[in-house]
Amino acid sequence: MSGAAFTIGSRRALVLAVGVLPFGIVYGVAAADSGVGAGPGLLGSLAIFAGASQLSLLELHLDGAAWTVAVGTALVINARFILYSAALSPAFTEFPAPWRFGLCHLMTDQAATLSLIEFDTQRDPVERRWFYLGAALTLFGFWQFGTLVGILGGAQVPDGLQLGFIIPLMFTALSAPAIRDRPAVTAAVVSVGVTIGTSWLPAGTNILLGALIGVATGALVTPTGTRT
């Protein structure tokens, strides 16, 4: 085991994991209040491990939506992971099969972005996978702990407490180190503009649309000789 790479990944994810914790608590409280029950609520965090999707599933369940609508909404929200998978695939192809399949379940926005930044300079496949595991497990642990606190600890979130600002703040912290050149700046600006301009779209599809158009724009303005 490459303990150093694991520790570095865990340490870099720690600050972001602290921001994940309150959302885990919010989900736990919502699961308990929805009548789903502690067991299914916790199982949802373990099996799905996608906060926005889990909260949407609960909301749609309470609204009496058909399961096809609920699952379809969750899939749309999580469609952004297709982009992360494509970006990480060159590194993941060098991992043994058990690692590839195991690490996929632990993928989050934070773990993927931290790893992409690290992989830009770290070329050793062994170091790469242990870094990813350290970052991903740290985030996974904080989310599960937050869920458990919310479900079993009787946590109450004050009505006036607004947590939404943490999401753009977290993504700004994640994205800033990767914005180093003109294509990246262009992609970021276009992505933000499209996301805000299409905020009326349902189920978070504006985020996916902004990401897709941002990536396409960045590719278009990248000089041909620098594309890989």
Domain count, the chain: 2
Same domain, 204 and 134: no
On the question of pLDDT at 158 being above 50, the answer is yes
User: Residue 68 — very low, low, confident or very high, per pLDDT cuts 50/70/90?
Assistant: confident
- Classify residue 165: in a domain, yes or no: no
On the question of pLDDT at 205 being above 80, the answer is no
Q: For all residues of the chain together, what is the average pLDDT?
A: 80
The model's pTM is 0.75
Percentage of residues of the chain with pLDDT beyond 70: 77
Same domain, 186 and 150: no
Torsion of CA 14, 16, 19, 25, to 10 degrees: -70
Count, residues in the chain:
228
On the question of pLDDT at 217 being above 50, the answer is yes
**CB atoms closer than 10 angstroms to residue 84:** 18
Q: What angle do CA 152, 168, 143 make, to 5 degrees?
A: 25
Which pLDDT does position 107 carry in this prediction? 93
Q: Which residues contact 12 (CB under 8 A, 6 or more apart)?
A: 114, 118, 135
Q: What angle do CA 113, 119, 124 make, to 5 degrees?
A: 145
Of the two residues 167 and 106, the one the predictor is more confident about is 106
Same domain, 183 and 153: no
Which pLDDT does position 95 carry in this prediction? 94
Residue 59 dihedral angles phi and psi, to the nearest 5°: -65, -45
2 by Cβ neighbours in 10 Å (0-12 / 13-18 / 19+) ranks as middle
Q: Cα dihedral sign for 196, 201, 207, 212?
A: negative
On the question of pLDDT at 44 being above 50, the answer is yes
Question: Where is average pLDDT lowest: 126-135, 166-175, 205-214?
Answer: 166-175
User: Residue 228 — very low, low, confident or very high, per pLDDT cuts 50/70/90?
Assistant: very low
Same domain, 144 and 198: no
Same domain, 220 and 146: no
Residue 219, both tokens: 């590719």
- 16, 141 contact by CB (below 8 A): no
Domain of residue 187: give its range. Answer: 179-228
159, 194, 209 — which closes off a domain?
A: 159
Same domain, 142 and 54: yes
- 60, 34 contact by CB (below 8 A): no
- Classify residue 47: in a domain, yes or no: yes
